[in-house]
Structure 1
């Protein structure tokens, strides 16, 4: 949990600092350029780094978005996870793949040719996975010298699946030419959840830990590269409205 908090707050402050610095640098530019449209692809650095320091976790996630209009982006994430969870009564391993797809809406008013984002979005998530119950402890209401019995099982449940809706909020800022760093937080609720007989899906790849049955929370910290495909001239009325808004502030 300490590693998670450290990565989250570091990502927030880094993106805010870089975005403010870039905004100030571009304020004094005179002539706006055409806006670029294209595909941005990247990876989740949090999952990659966690795979190094957490021996019970292996994960990989690729991200992508495609700019449709000045404000709307198609977005998707695909990846896989393998996680062993060791709780007081249970030890189990979850393995599977996931896909999330949807859209983002950029609320940030960039100066001139900046391409930073402060966005909200929605995703629909799909995951297929397996659960393996490694061991469990038998509850003893009258333990002798605090002894408890641990039973090794090794029973595997395959063919499991889950689907969910996900609300997303995040930031993305350019640090080098066509290179962006960003983070997002995600609140999810399950739509379907195929559970094994006699067990529960306490962890779902792409959804993370299930809390109170149907709700989940997650975040990612990404680095991505933008592949420009074409440019579009901003309409005059959009330029005027943008300039008027900037001048009134």
Structure 2
């Protein structure tokens, strides 16, 4: 009986050791799974410079004989939501109204920022933005011809007077609000459009004439109000990548509090 009890005790020890090893392996597997879950890499977002051209002004030069223009656009991502933005261009526009025909030539620069309100998911980098610009233009006006307004048509209309007078050294400054969007159509290639509303801050007027068209500002309405549109294609040059902050992730996951 002593031999049998010793044998039984030995088998019990062996079984206990096997069970202990099995439990350790199971615990190790669970720990490795937990480590793998906790080691999911954070989301990386790209930061860099986007450069492009306004296709609207470029193509307009082909189908409008009295217009020549080119605008280069760019933006640089400084935070997850904010972009520094700028546009530089030149325009040569002839306007033929009922009473006057004139040509405006000049260059302009607009600088400001955009705020991206679109919540991207995955690796998307699309933009729906609102922004603000400060614009400045340097230009000249040529009065090609004009017609003196005659309220009494009994004797017929006044003759058209050919002028050719030039007004150089003109300038204007304005503020504009911009709303638009950009979508990635190919790898790093974006197509977008935007609308803008402008308000003149200051301008240098020619003698006995008015700035009826300002490069970068477009046609003036009521003396100091203007609108604009552009359609752009641009290429994104990535500089570096950064992770999404943990606080921003936590805010997204927080359940909204119910109103009492």
Per the shorter chain, which TM-score range?
A: 0.7 to 0.9
Q: 2:218 aligns with which of 208, 225, 228?
A: 208
**Deviation at 1:148?**
3.4
* Structure-1 separation of matches of 2:253 and 2:93: 50
How far, CA to CA, are the matches of 2:237 and 2:171 in structure 1? 33
Superposition deviation, residue 113 in structure 1: 1.6
Give SS of 2:192's match. strand
The answer to whether structure 1 residue 230 and structure 2 residue 227 are counterparts is no
Q: Is the 8 A contact 1:32 1:113 kept in 2?
A: no
What is residue 124 of structure 1 aligned with on the other side? 134
Q: CA deviation at 1:244?
A: 5.5
How far apart are residue 236 of structure 1 and its match? 1.9
Rg larger in structure? 2
Residues 115, 243 of structure 1: alpha-carbon distance in 2 compared, 3 angstrom cutoff = farther
Distance 1:206 1:139 in 2: 30
**Mapped contact 1:37–1:232 kept (Cα < 8 A):** yes
Q: 2: CA distance between counterparts of 1:135 and 1:174?
A: 47
Q: TM-score by structure 1 length?
A: 0.83
Relative distance call for 1:113 and 1:243 in structure 2 (3 A) is: farther
Tell me what 1:81 maps to: 91
Partner of 2:66: 56
Counterpart CA distance in 2 for 1:222 and 1:109 is 22
Q: How many residues align?
A: 217
Secondary structure class of the residue paired with 1:50: helix
Asked if the contact 1:73/1:103 (under 8 Å) is kept, the reply is: yes
Give the Å deviation of 1:127. 0.1
Structure 1 position 238, deviation (Å): 1.6
SS at match of 1:52: helix
Q: State how far apart, in whole Å, the 2-side matches of 1:146 and 1:70 are.
A: 65
TM-score (norm 2): 0.80
| 1:96 equivalent in alignment to 2:96 | no
Distance in 2 (CA, whole Å) between partners of 1:201 and 1:231 is 46
The one of 185, 196, 200 equivalent to 1:190 is 200
User: Separation in 1 of the partners of 2:161 and 2:121?
Assistant: 62
- More contact order relative to length (CA 8 Å, sep ≥ 6): 1
- Aligned residue for 2:72, secondary structure, equals strand
Matched, 1:135 2:148: no
Check conservation: 1:61, 1:79, Cα contact below 8 A: yes
CA distance in 2, matches of 1:149, 1:243: 74
What is the CA distance between 1:186 and its match in structure 2? 0.4
- Report deviation, 1:59: 0.3
Kindly indicate whether the alpha-carbon contact (under 8 Å) linking 2:42 and 2:244 is maintained by their aligned counterparts in 1.
no
**Other structure's SS at 2:153 match:** coil
Residue in 2 that maps onto 1:239: 249
What SS class does the counterpart of residue 136 from structure 1 fall into? strand
- Which position in structure 2 is the counterpart of 1:109? 119
